[in-house]
Structure 1
Amino acid sequence: MAAPVRRLCHVAFHVPAGQPLARDLQRFFGFRPLAVREADGWRQLALRSGDAVFLVNEGAGPGEPLYSLDPHHAVPGATNLCFDVADVGAAARALAALGCNVQVPPVTVQDAQGAATYAVVGSPAGNLSLTLLERPGFCGPFLPGFRPVSSVPGPGWVTHVDHLTLACPRSSSPKIMRWFHDCLGFHHLPLSPGEDPELGLEVAAGSGRGGLRLTALQAPTGSAVPTLVLAESLPGSLRGRDQVEQFLAQNGGPGLQHVGLYTPNIMEATERVAGAGGQLLTPPEAYYQQPGKEKQILAAGHEPRLLARHGVLLDGDEGKFLLQVFTKSLFAEDTFFLELIQRQGATGFGQGNIRALWQSVQEHAARVCEA
């Protein structure tokens, strides 16, 4: 591996001036301002919930924003992942030797709180760039060049990023997986016994509905990096574009489709998000009437009526369960959404839930088209 990553530092977004992403993250999802930088035509606001940090780069300055790269992209979205590495200079040289595009060579930024060195490299996932960061001894709240923002403590709905999901064109996952393995040290994480990493896990959504092919990647042992999930659509949908194809079309190619945020209490988190006006996807009504679903929910210690009211999905068995709820896109375009996830011993992503999500998104898209 050329540049083994050690920790996810933040997820960065690029949005036009006046786009309400920063406001919505605070209002609907309990994020709180951490630090801000306003210079060179950019307003860069870091927001935090638990260990999850989002950096919203708003505007379009004449130069590049600190710690990221302006993709000059037509639509807003999540365009950068920042990872901690041991030695940025060595990592950039090793990646360049492998033929990677080092878009921003190593740069050192310093202020009264200390220094940080970063470089930005391109990825095989469309407009998604990767920032490699080294900040030994830095003692500020975020990064050099930013000033702290005073804010009241957040409600604590989210503790950390559970996973990152990239939407990919069909048959591209093996190539993307090899890049992350060779360049950053990720390795295949089977989602089912005996899974072929070249094929991933196929989750068919039913006759004529298509489905998903998922390939999960895990960072090097000992790192604190969320699971990376590659998602492709399966052929067979009879309703036009599915949500992966819709993302690829509106994003202009592959990219970061959603971030899974871990919450220790998904019922409370979902109630707070909905109460604040956040828009959540509603599972199909038949989901909670599936044979054995009520028994499964009760076995996990939950009330079926409450899960149905909040739109929370549950999957699992043998004492290991997974609960999930998904938001609608945070932008006018279908280029990014959030997932709230709670794990009760389960480590996968819930095949039954994936099918239900797929169907609910497809039904929502069909209603929008008919309106």
Structure 2
Amino acid sequence: MSTDNTSLHLEKVVPEAEDFLPILGTDFVELYVGNAKQAAYYYQHAWGFQPVAYAGLETGKKDSVSYVLQQGKIRVVLTSPLEKDGEINAHINKHGDGVKFVALWVDDARKSYEETTKRGAKSYVEPYELEDENGKAVISGIHTYGETIHLFVERGEYEGPFLPGYRVYDTKAKSPDTGLKFIDHMVGNVGWNEMNKWVEFYGKVMGFAQLVSFDDKDISTDYTALMSKVMSNGNGRIKFPINEPAEGKKKSQIEEYIDFYNGAGVQHIALATDNIIETVTQLRDRGVEFLYVPETYYDDLLDRVGEIDEDLEPLKELGVLVDRDDEGYLLQIFTKPVLDRPTMFFEIIQRKGAQSFGKGNFKALFEAIEREQDLRGTLN
């Protein structure tokens, strides 16, 4: 397992953050899915994730099965039920496949639970220990928007493949990785007029600070709009943009998400790479579908963003968007929904100094999403 178990004291880069809750990084993201075995195959062979750990009937787990995959510092857990009824079935029936747990790596899961619940967080699970021959880990958890849960994972005394109760998962059929490094940010969609409630939650309950705010003048087209605020912890490793719908002539992507997901949830996960051209080329060749960007977007691109290191042609051919801020520029591209319901998707991002989120691309991105909504018949 590539995550370093050593306690880290990371530099504070967001001075406004209270930072009473030291978070070392994202530990894992767990999705409840209808068929974990097949989902694992997709993420291994289309996305280049590597098999890490497994829990199921063979490990004594009777109610569910989980596959753990990893690429760089990105760890994904895919979990399916083995019995009828129960929480996992109810979640899948209501939401389709989707993110249930966003687990945060901490030094002290007990203290993390105490600090957040005393500030008003609703408890999901009190701190408990897991132990096997490889050591022990401590886990606790709180509720966030919708049915999404933040787990706090303390693993300083654990040396196994993932967590106690899991065994090494290996398979002969492996695909090379695609150059994905870590989770850059993770976006939550919430309902009408709920954004500020959850911004306040991350500020008050978790000690995050607001990095940036976008209103419907920033993020809109002729038809749809949304509002967004980005929250970050002190060391900048955890960034959570929170989106809510805004009034428009037609149904926005946020409304479409909430309709099909039946509530608030994780809309997309942004995965960082050091070479977006290589990464996206591999993903596309393996069947991952990306939003279409008209060639006209590139006609005056260099006038808008200035000089960049990359050749324009491959960016144009792949549909990669470019934006610049005061600190540099970034390259980004968005997949189509990776599920049958038009809910969750991924962003691939490469930062060349820029710390922003592609404000200059919002209009082009929204128009691309609207084209897909129109094909689905969900724009009106």
Query: TM-score range with shorter-chain normalisation?
Result: 0.7 to 0.9
8 Å CA contact 1:211, 1:355 repeated in 2: no
Q: Which amino acid aligns with 1:343?
A: R
- What per-residue deviation string (whole Å, max 9, x for no partner) do you get for residues 214-262 of structure 1? 21111123xx6331111223222x3x32211111111111111000000
- Kindly tell me: are residues 232 and 285 of structure 1, through their superposed partners in 2, closer, same or farther at Cα, counting changes over 3 Å? farther
Q: Pick from 9, 20, 29: which aligns with 2:47? A: 29
Structure 1 counterpart of 2:152: 132
Name the % identity: 23
Secondary structure at the counterpart of residue 179 of structure 2: coil
Following the alignment from structure 1 to structure 2, what is the Cα–Cα distance between the partners of residues 346 and 266? Answer: 15
- What per-residue deviation string (whole Å, max 9, x for no partner) do you get for residues 112-146 of structure 1? 111011122211x1011111111222112211111
Secondary structure at the counterpart of residue 180 of structure 2: coil
Q: Pick from 152, 158, 170: which aligns with 2:192? A: 170
How far did residue 57 of structure 1 move? 0.9
Structure 1 counterpart of 2:28: 10
Q: Which amino acid aligns with 2:104?
A: F
How far did residue 309 of structure 1 move? 1.1
Q: Which amino acid aligns with 1:164?
A: M
Following the alignment from structure 2 to structure 1, what is the Cα–Cα distance between the partners of residues 99 and 134? Answer: 28
Structure 1 counterpart of 2:374: 366
Please give the TM-score of this superposition, normalised by the length of structure 2. 0.85
How far did residue 324 of structure 1 move? 0.7
Q: Pick from 105, 125, 130: which aligns with 1:104? A: 125
- Kindly tell me: are residues 88 and 277 of structure 1, through their superposed partners in 2, closer, same or farther at Cα, counting changes over 3 Å? same
Q: Pick from 264, 268, 273: which aligns with 1:258? A: 268
- What per-residue deviation string (whole Å, max 9, x for no partner) do you get for residues 33-55 of structure 1? 11111122311111111001111
Structure 1 segments of 4+ aligned residues over 4 angstroms from their partners:
1-4, 60-65, 68-73, 199-202, 294-298
Please give the TM-score of this superposition, normalised by the length of structure 1. 0.87
- What per-residue deviation string (whole Å, max 9, x for no partner) do you get for residues 22-71 of structure 1? 22211221111111111223111111110011111122557989xx9984
Gaps of 5+ in 1: 192-198
8 Å CA contact 1:16, 1:60 repeated in 2: no
Following the alignment from structure 1 to structure 2, what is the Cα–Cα distance between the partners of residues 230 and 319? Answer: 23
- Kindly tell me: are residues 71 and 3 of structure 1, through their superposed partners in 2, closer, same or farther at Cα, counting changes over 3 Å? farther
- Kindly tell me: are residues 149 and 19 of structure 1, through their superposed partners in 2, closer, same or farther at Cα, counting changes over 3 Å? closer
- Kindly tell me: are residues 63 and 363 of structure 1, through their superposed partners in 2, closer, same or farther at Cα, counting changes over 3 Å? closer
Gaps of 5+ in 2: 1-17
Structure 1 counterpart of 2:3: none
Structure 1 counterpart of 2:12: none
Structure 2 counterpart of 1:211: 225
RMSD: 2.7
Q: Which amino acid aligns with 1:234?
A: A
8 Å CA contact 2:195, 2:244 repeated in 1: yes
- Kindly tell me: are residues 148 and 202 of structure 1, through their superposed partners in 2, closer, same or farther at Cα, counting changes over 3 Å? farther
Structure 2 counterpart of 1:194: none
Instruction: Map residues 325-336 of structure 1 onto 2, 5 A cutoff.
Output: 325-336=333-344
Instruction: Map residues 1-371 of structure 1 onto 2, 5 A cutoff.
Output: 3-17=21-35, 20-38=38-56, 39-61=61-83, 71=91, 73-74=93-94, 75-123=96-144, 125-150=145-170, 154-190=176-212, 202-206=217-221, 208-221=222-235, 225-236=237-248, 238=249, 240-289=250-299, 292-296=300-304, 299-316=307-324, 320-369=328-377
- Kindly tell me: are residues 6 and 61 of structure 1, through their superposed partners in 2, closer, same or farther at Cα, counting changes over 3 Å? farther
Secondary structure at the counterpart of residue 296 of structure 2: helix
